[in-house]
Each structure stands twice: as structure tokens, then as C-alpha cells.
Chains A and B, each alone.
Chain A
Amino acid sequence: MKHLLSINDIDRDFALTILDTAAEMAKVTDGPVKKLPTLRGKTVVNLFAEDSTRTRISFEAAAKRLSADVINFTAKGSSISKGESLKDTAQTLQALGADAVVIRHPASGAAHRLAQGRWINGTVINAGDGTHEHPSQALLDSYTIRKHLCGGTGDLSGIHVAIVGDILHSRVARSNVLLLTKLGATVTLVAPPTLLPHQVEQWPVRVSYDFNAVLPTVDAVIMLRIQQERMSDLYFPSEREYSTLFGIDSDRLGLTKSGTILLHPGPMNRGLEISAEAADSEQSVVVEQVANGVSIRMAILYLFIAGSQESVNG
């Protein structure tokens, strides 16, 4: 278990270990000294070939709180924008002695390529690859749900989660479906048929086109961003129609049970998939997700790179 490329890389017990570890990391973050010596002398490279705010600063904050050295590497302003290949970039990182490479890339499978290419010795952590996976986001979503609805311990048995919106292009949805079902939750996908992936019927989920009918039955709602940058075709007639049928606003929130929480991975398109009132409501945990993201990423970095790779792998 050297790389975190997909939720499929971790089993249920290890996923719970990550969540438990994150809960302890959160206590450090709440304390007067927000710094641990754990990763002193380790180097973490943030390789972001695609725009990101939350994930990048969250991994950076996590690495710094564990005393790792952090090198940020973004597409804009680096040789990636001059057309340097992933292999050449990776070899540069290897020369820098990176213990971990946190990679965000517009191409699905980029993290996998980096890990399997044998170009680098470090641990590869997938921070979102194209429309494939975003495991740390799924872990922080499960952490947030568990904290609010399960008393912060155990798995997510008996919890019903709706994932709503652009499932087709969403790596967040793919990772979340894998992790939530692994942890025992029931998942319902809500989207127009055009935004559901092929063979979704083979996923371990329910599918609905009727948001209002699903809302009273769920404990948590994960809204997904409409990803204009990945949309090459017209997937719905108009933004207004999408918003009316699949957006969440205060009226729709009113259909939920009390205690149902509202998540969004960010960045939010206010007025499109989520109204400003819903985003800022009592039920919204969007801001808390960011704080939880730091704890989860501290846990991931600790569990994947704190030990000696030599001794772990023999």
C-alpha cells in the first residue's frame, strides 16, 4: 500500500483507520500549537496541472502542520505550460527527492501513470485525475458525514446519501460511491439521464431523476458542481431548467428531515446547482468540509509516508 490512486486501493478497515487518524489530527489543529514534528525531513511536492484552490492549499496546510517541506508546482508558470511531458516533470521531481507527490491532473489515469511509470520512488497521492477519482475528497466527505450523523465513530451503516448533479464528469462522485458503499451507506444518484455515466446500473447505487422524491429519505446530500470546462455537448436545455429540476434551494431543503446535512466539494456555482440561501443555511457544512479536508490530508500523509518505505516494503 504505497500509493493512494483510487478508493479501491484501500479496504474498509484502512478507510476507518484514516477517518480515526483524521479525528486525532483535528485535535492538534484545534490546539494552541498547530504543528507536529512527524514528517520532519520529508519532502511533499504538490504537482497541480489543473486549477485548484481547496485541495492544493489543504494538502499544503496538512504537509506543513506535519513539518514536511512543501514544494508547490502548478501548470501555470511552470514548464508544463511549455508542453513538458509528465515523464520529464516526474524525473525532475525525483531529482528533488520528493517523498510524496500529490498530483492533480486533467487527464484520467495521470496519477496511475505516474505511480506505475517507475520514474519516481516517492508515494503518489491522487488529488483528482480528470473524470476518474478524487479519493481524499471522498474521505473528507465520509469524515464529515460520520462526524455529524454517526457520532464520529464506526462506519456509515444505515446512512442514506444522495449525490446530485453532474455524475458523468465527476471524479468526486466516483470516489464517493466507492467509499460510501464500502462503509455501509446507501447511495442514490440524482441527475438528468444525460449526466449519468454509461452502465450506471452496474454501480452499487440507486438512481433517481426525481430530486423532490428522494430528499425526504436522505441523511446527507452531496451537491456536485456543473463542470462547464468538461462539457463539450449540451447536456441540458438551459441552466435555468437544470437549476429548477436539480438545484438545491431553501424550498427543497425544507423537504428534508431535520438533521440532514448538505455538502458540496466546491467551488460552488451559486444560483446554478445550489442557491445562496441553501449554501449559507444551517444545514450546510460546506465550510466545515474545508477544515475537515486538512485533517484528512494530514492523516493520509502520515499513514502513507511517515514510515520508512524500505522497511515497509522489505
Chain B
Amino acid sequence: MSLALNESDITRALTRISHEILERNSGSSDLTILGIPTRGAHLAHRLAAIISTIEGAPVQVGTLDVTLHRDDLRLRAPRPLMETVIPSLGVEGRTVVLVDDVLFSGRTIRSALDALGEIGRPIRVQLAVLVDRGHRELPIKADFVGKNLPTSKSQSVKVSLREHDGVDEVRIEGESA
């Protein structure tokens, strides 16, 4: 089980992504940052905290549960729903930055786009992920990537975050093919 990112790697990646988001969108006034539970939600709050420090103004941040829109519901036992919290200004006409920990098949992000469509019509949607491990099954691409990690399909990427796991790190488990 090899360590791919340590605590300061994660912090640096999030700081860089925050700057990239601000650069791409010319500031934070039209931004709504939505994290996908569980770890994407923690990352979204961290990004929002960094961005609001840089800009000196609060940022709209929330969470978006995608469970009810997944395409594998029929294949597995039902999962409990996670919390969806849409910030006060909503998503209508705003730039929504979706945040997740790992981008893999792309199916979670497809579900998130469907879930988002039910809440309103953002002017644009961007995607920020801590790790992109490849193996996409859908035509989906991240706008902001913390780290590209080439992996084999049999491996798994385990993201741990302070808020949820007590430690900040990203590990790759299993043998590379």
C-alpha cells in the first residue's frame, strides 16, 4: 500500500486548485461550490475556506447527494441517503463547481449532473477532484485536478481526510498490473 499524497501534498493541491478556480472564473462572486458526500463534501468546505481567505469574502458552499440518481441502484442493496445542503443563493444562473475526492468511471459525476438539474439550471458546471485515477467509462473530464494517479483497474485509491478519517493522505492499494 503506497502513499501517493501526504498531508502537505493535499494542502498544496487544494491551494493551487483554489487559485485556478478563481483565475478561471474571475473571482468568487458567482461561485457555488458543491461537494459530493462524504469526502467530496469535506474537500468542498476546505476549498471554500481557502477561496474566502484569498478573496476576503464568504463563498457559497454546500453538499449534493447523488445516491438517488445513480445508475447502479438496481444492482446493489439500497444505501442510506447523505445530506444535500444547497446554499442560500441556490444554483440558478450561477457557476457550480462540483467537488469529489476521486474521479474514476465518471458515473458519480453523471449522477451529480442529473441531481443538479433537479435543483436548478446553473450557467455552467465545473469539476474539481483531488485525484484523477483514469479508467473513465463516460465522456467526463475534470477542470481542476489535484493529482493524476495512473493506476490499474484492480487497484483501489483510498483517500483519507482529517474530518472523516483523522488523517490527511491518499494511498494506492493493491498491485499494479
Contacts and interface: CB of A to CB of B under 8 A. Distances in A.
B78 A302 contact: yes
Interface stretch (B40-48, B67-75, B163-171): B67-75
B69 A36 contact: yes
Contact of B80 (A21, A37, A304): A21
Nearest to B71: A37
Interface stretch (A23-31, A87-95, A200-208, A213-221): A23-31
A264 B82 CA distance: 30
A294 to B, nearest CB: 15
A96 interface: no
Contacts of B118: 28, 31-33, 35-36
Interface in A18-53: 20-21, 24-25, 27-28, 31-33, 35-38, 41
Contacts of A25: 81
Given A21-B80, A27-B84, A38-B68, A308 B119 contact: no
Interface string B84-122: 100000000000000000000000000000100111100
B74 A308 contact: yes
A56 to B, nearest CB: 24
A66 B74 CA distance: 14
A270 B117 CA distance: 44
A27 B75 CA distance: 25
A215 to B, nearest CB: 36
Given A27-B84, A303-B78, A32 B69 contact: no
Given A31-B119, A32-B119, A36-B118, A312 B80 contact: no
A11 B119 CA distance: 33
A9 to B, nearest CB: 15
Contacts of B80: 17, 20-21, 303
Interface in A29-86: 31-33, 35-38, 41, 66
- Interface bin, chain A: 20 to 34
B177 interface: no
Contacts of A33: 117-119
A307 interface: yes
B83 interface: yes
Contacts of A20: 80-81
B81 A24 contact: yes
A107 interface: no
A24 B84 contact: yes
B81 A307 contact: no
B76 A308 contact: yes
Interface of A: 17, 20-21, 24-25, 27-28, 31-33, 35-38, 41, 66, 302-304, 306-308, 311-312
Given A302-B81, A311-B75, 19 more contacts: A20-B81, A21-B80, A24-B82, A28-B118, A33-B119, A36-B118, A37-B69, A37-B114, A38-B68, A41-B74, A302-B78, A303-B78, A304-B78, A306-B73, A306-B74, A306-B78, A307-B73, A307-B76, A311-B77
22 contacts: A20-B81, A21-B81, A24-B81, A24-B82, A27-B84, A32-B118, A32-B119, A33-B117, A33-B118, A35-B118, A36-B69, A36-B118, A37-B69, A37-B114, A303-B78, A303-B80, A306-B78, A307-B75, A307-B77, A308-B75, A308-B76, A311-B77
